[in-house]
Structure 1
């Protein structure tokens, strides 16, 4: 957008310079147009420096040494299909399900300790000249402290139920958060539709008409500047809404585990 603004005010400055030479306007108009042009170009330099810093940080995060450039021709609006959203892949819910499984295994393991333990062994011995005599031995182990063991089983069972309850609460909270994000997404989608279908075309028309009127001497520079400021405000507001929209999409994708 700054490049577009730079081009517009370069044309306006050239027109103001011609009008000043021909005596159609005063020095203030020419200086004002030049000052606005320099301000825009200063902003462009700042943005370019910030972009270079962004690429350096991104290369560090990606552990990537070679230079690269993000394709700016890609759509600035992330696509999202609301009907396909599901919280079951949420990483936090996965952890809670794992905790339930661990609690269940602990309960099952402790229950196994209450069961009698039957052991059978085969022994081969040689006595005097009678070789290879086989003896079968058997034993039955019965838990003596069954009451204490049952208490442990109950405790693990309670932990398992607590884990299930935590999962249910977390699912309800995350689903509520997802529903709220959906509402925000729909609100921003409608706002972007307004800008794209109405406000942005109007802003372009304002810029085109204001520049034409100024070059033809139908309006003064300050009227031109006031009209174009309104148009740039519309374009900047659209970019802010677009950023908010994309952030909501990122939040939704993070919530459903689609990172």
Structure 2
């Protein structure tokens, strides 16, 4: 029997998805390649580019046949005619400009989508790093309170302490282990969020181990947000209303009609001299040119006036969005400064003090100089400082990412 067949029969075939090791930058690159929303925005550009081919679109050509007693009692007279209506030439130019403006709008929509996507990927990635760092802290807490609970249980059995100390130690240990379970759930939640942003359900693993340091240079708010693609997208909407208004104005101009006819004149003299009547073999042809003029200009002018209101709306919305972004950026700068100052406090003061407090409390509790309640309280202060430090690192990095998002300048 073939060796491959033996292996196939002995070992069931299983498929394994290879776990992707991600850094922040590789996560961003994967999202840019795979995210369905961004692909949709890119396809939207292609859609409007294809529409530019309609700029020279003409109405359908008219082909007519007239047959019967059209000229005399003869019943088989016929007339063939072809006519084509052509918009005024300036309409074609106006349509082309409008379609080009639509393409540009789609380009900025994609840029806006990409800016938001990069921000969301980095935001979730940093949050995952924070969750992983918190997990390590919780494990450290578990180790501390496990030792505390063992010591309290031993002292209770030897009669050196009361049930209260043992109960408090075990209760706090259970709280820590519950926090670890919650942390695992948070990790799964944010992994799922990152997978959705990456446009893939493949297993992923965070390669980095700690939150990157924040290093943001501040700019004047009006200068910073000017590069935000959302503003460019809204500015392009103003351009589109202007091009649409120009098209409406061009549409008021008359349409041009050109045509050709070919007909028979059976039974009718060709001239007044009494020449023989024409027959089926005699054909008469000619051309026609005409103008199509609007009977009532009111509705057409109303479209132009209405589109002017649309331009004003788009302009006001752009101005309001600019003010909002400037305000959000200013708030983000202050938030960044606040969080950075908090991080400096933890790094320079809180963490060194917490480390010193932990060492002294452990020695004093072991030697019997302090009771369990004081030791327990000191542990809580230490762990609170460590937790606050991790939170401050996360907050300052998230504030930096938000500033970069508002400025349209991803780090």
Pick the TM interval, shorter chain.
Answer: 0.7 to 0.9
Q: Matches of residues 91-110 of structure 1 in structure 2 within 5 Å? A: 91=230, 93=231, 96-97=234-235, 99-110=237-248
Q: Deviations over 1:111-169 (max 9, x none)?
A: 112223334445567886677x7633222333342344223212211221221111111
Q: 1:217 to 1:49 in 2, by over 3 A?
A: closer
How far does residue 203 in structure 1 lie from its aligned partner after superposition?
0.6
CA distance in 2, matches of 1:47, 1:79: 31
CA distance in 2, matches of 1:16, 1:45: 18
* Structure 2 counterpart of 1:118: 256
How far does residue 76 in structure 1 lie from its aligned partner after superposition?
6.7
* Structure 2 counterpart of 1:182: 333
Alignment equivalent of 2:211, drawn from 75, 96, 107: 75
Is the Cα contact below 8 Å between 2:155 and 2:161 reproduced in 1?
no
* Structure 1 counterpart of 2:141: 5
Q: Deviations over 1:217-244 (max 9, x none)?
A: 4444443333333322322333444454
Q: Is the radius of gyration larger for structure 1 or structure 2?
A: 2
* Structure 2 counterpart of 1:156: 307
Indicate whether 1:194 and 2:330 are aligned. no
* Structure 1 counterpart of 2:161: 27
How far does residue 197 in structure 1 lie from its aligned partner after superposition?
2.2
How far does residue 17 in structure 1 lie from its aligned partner after superposition?
7.1
CA distance in 2, matches of 1:55, 1:203: 27
TM-score normalised per structure 2: 0.50
Is the Cα contact below 8 Å between 2:365 and 2:375 reproduced in 1?
yes
Greater per-residue helix proportion: 1
Q: 1:39 to 1:250 in 2, by over 3 A?
A: farther
Alignment equivalent of 1:140, drawn from 291, 294, 304: 291
RMSD: 3.9
CA distance in 2, matches of 1:81, 1:201: 28
Is the Cα contact below 8 Å between 2:227 and 2:407 reproduced in 1?
yes
CA distance in 2, matches of 1:66, 1:51: 21
Structure 2, gaps ≥5 residues long: 1-136, 266-278
Specify the SS of the correspondent of 1:27: coil
Number of positions where the alignment pairs a residue of Structure 1 with one of Structure 2: 253
CA distance in 2, matches of 1:71, 1:37: 35
Is the Cα contact below 8 Å between 1:113 and 1:143 reproduced in 2?
no
* Structure 1 counterpart of 2:363: 212
Q: 1:181 to 1:58 in 2, by over 3 A?
A: closer
TM-score normalised per structure 1: 0.73
CA distance in 1, matches of 2:228, 2:264: 65
* Structure 2 counterpart of 1:43: 175
